[in-house]
């Protein structure tokens, strides 16, 4: 079976592709390197699974979360497709056997964490595998500019050396230019084709509501309809307190944060998925891979950390394409937090020192140390040179002036006019 549409029908029972899926799949089949940017719930998994099924050989999938891997492997196995995941808890001899199966056992999918790629055994065996495609799920994790930076994702490019002929596909719902550029570079994609679907979600209403008593407003909002919801708060403590508050008001609510035991996490997730608990009060640890179609509202009790993470979090509402809402509750109490958030973007003294040292050596290299030469540094060139964003660089230089963290010789300051 090699026709994408037939594979879609046979294994998934769907009659047609969603926008862009077909184009992505066709280009992957032409062995091009592809970056697929589709919103959460847009159907990214099929974009590598179908081409992998259409060809002989095995597809290696790098994925950031064990839960994501297990979900996908279970779903594939349920369709009678041979798939496995090398997760953290596997013993050496088990790993050995599993990798053998990937070489000789007609497996179609091997899911790996990026940490696994560091192991020599894994690298050696991958060399021997008949790999037909390398898929990097949640590919924005490779970029420090993204919201889920995962240093081990930097290992992925070593797959390029192990399998120089095999095409890559990177998949993500993140689409800022900076992250896209970074993904393509870090994954060493060859003339990547970047396929991007509009991120507009026309079934989602975005609402910003000023509410003096946020808890009260939330209670009213949740009592309007008896439907599934996610409430984002900023701290672990707040997840517990707000869930308690809601339960006292007769609304079935659970809480979720990164500090919970693995087993506890999956139990709470399950009972929310099965609508035993209607509302999940969570920190941003509740996120990647949450695929519940009928979430009718996502409420942020505080201003989100960034527009990008907001889009991801709000986008968990209405994945079934029926009307849903994303609500931000705000009032005066948010202002100090906002201020802090801004202050946190200021560079540390260490960073400023580093910038300054770089600046010094840059001048020495560029102009020598001779006296009497007027130097002139354009601020934007300076930013570009050090890949700083403008705000960072501006703050760095301001701090430098004010705190004079280093003994900046007056002479040197005169010589190097930094212009804003």
CA distances from 39 to 96, 175, 375 (A): 37, 9, 48
CA distance 325 to 229: 10
| DSSP-assigned beta bridge partners for residue 299 | 231, 327
In this structure, the number of other CB atoms found within 10 A of the CB of residue 383 comes to 17
CA distance 117 to 128: 15
Query: Which of 17, 107 has the CB closer to ligand ADP?
Result: 17
170 binds, among ligand ADP, Mg ion, none (CB under 5 to 8 A by kind): none
Which one of 12-20, 78-86, 220-228, 398-406 is the stretch in contact with ligand ADP (CB under 6 A)? 12-20
Written as six digits, the tokens of 368 are 């020598």
For the bound state, the minimum distance from the C-beta of residue 149 to Mg ion, rounded and expressed in Å, comes to 18
Q: Which of 4, 110, 16, 13 is nearest to 53 (CA)?
A: 4
Indicate whether 325 belongs to the interface with Mg ion (CB under 5 A): no
Query: Which of 179, 396 has the CB closer to ligand ADP?
Result: 179
Indicate whether 38 belongs to the interface with ligand ADP (CB under 6 A): yes
Query: Which of 69, 253 has the CB closer to Mg ion?
Result: 69
Residues numbered 280 to 299 that lie near ligand ADP (CB under 6 A) are: 291
Which one of 6-14, 36-44, 238-246, 364-372 is the stretch in contact with Mg ion (CB under 5 A)? 36-44
Helix, strand, coil % in the chain, rounded to nearest 5 = 45, 15, 35
63 binds, among Mg ion, ligand ADP, none (CB under 5 to 8 A by kind): none
Query: Which of 42, 64 has the CB closer to ligand ADP?
Result: 42
Query: Which of 44, 125 has the CB closer to Mg ion?
Result: 44
CB 315 within 8 A of CB 286: no
CA distance 76 to 68: 12
Indicate whether 42 belongs to the interface with ligand ADP (CB under 6 A): yes
Q: Which of 44, 108, 147, 325 binds Mg ion (CB under 5 A)?
A: 44
CA distance 293 to 272: 12
CA distance 1 to 9: 11
Q: Which of 9, 18, 82, 209 binds ligand ADP (CB under 6 A)?
A: 18
Indicate whether 44 belongs to the interface with ligand ADP (CB under 6 A): yes
Residues that bind ligand ADP (CB under 6 A): 14, 17-18, 21, 38, 40-46, 291
């Amino acid at each position: 079976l090699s026709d994408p549409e037939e594979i879609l029908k046979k294994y998934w029972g769907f009659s047609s592709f969603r926008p862009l899926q077909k184009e992505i799949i066709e280009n992957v089949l032409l062995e091009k390197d592809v970056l697929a940017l589709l919103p959460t719930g847009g159907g990214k998994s099929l974009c590598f699974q179908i081409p992998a099924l259409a060809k002989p050989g095995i597809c290696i999938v790098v994925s950031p979360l064990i839960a994501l891997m297990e979900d996908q492997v279970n779903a594939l196995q349920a369709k009678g497709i041979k798939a496995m995941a090398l997760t953290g808890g596997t013993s050496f001899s088990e790993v050995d056997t599993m990798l053998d199966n990937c070489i000789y056992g007609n497996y179609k999918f091997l899911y790996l964490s990026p940490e696994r790629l560091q192991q020599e055994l894994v690298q050696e065996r991958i060399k021997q595998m008949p790999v037909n495609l390398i898929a990097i799920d949640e590919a924005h994790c490779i970029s420090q500019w993204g919201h889920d930076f995962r240093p081990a994702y930097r290992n992925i490019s070593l797959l390029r050396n192990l399998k120089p002929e095999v095409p890559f596909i990177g998949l993500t719902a993140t689409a800022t230019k900076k992250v896209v550029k970074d993904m393509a570079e870090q994954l060493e994609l060859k003339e990547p084709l970047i396929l991007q679907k509009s991120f507009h979600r026309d079934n989602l209403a975005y609402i910003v509501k000023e509410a003096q008593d946020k808890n009260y407003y939330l209670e009213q909002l949740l009592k309007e309809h008896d439907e599934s919801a996610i409430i984002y708060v900023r701290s672990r403590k707040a997840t517990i307190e707000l869930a308690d508050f809601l339960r006292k008001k007769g609304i079935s609510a659970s809480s979720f944060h990164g500090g919970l035991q693995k087993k506890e996490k999956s139990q709470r997730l399950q009972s929310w998925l099965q609508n035993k608990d209607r509302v999940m009060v969570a920190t941003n640890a509740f996120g990647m891979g949450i695929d519940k179609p009928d979430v009718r509202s996502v409420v942020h009790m505080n201003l989100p950390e960034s527009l990008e993470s907001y889009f991801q979090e709000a986008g968990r509402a209405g994945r079934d394409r029926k009307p849903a809402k994303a609500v931000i509750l705000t009032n005066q109490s948010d202002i100090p937090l906002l201020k802090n958030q801004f202050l946190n973007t200021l560079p540390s003294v260490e960073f400023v020192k580093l910038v300054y040292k770089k600046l010094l050596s840059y001048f020495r290299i560029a102009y020598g140390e001779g006296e009497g030469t007027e130097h002139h540094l354009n601020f934007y060139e300076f930013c570009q040179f050090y890949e700083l964003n403008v705000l960072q660089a501006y703050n760095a230089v301001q701090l430098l002036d004010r705190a004079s963290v280093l003994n900046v010789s007056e002479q040197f300051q005169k010589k190097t006019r930094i212009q804003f």
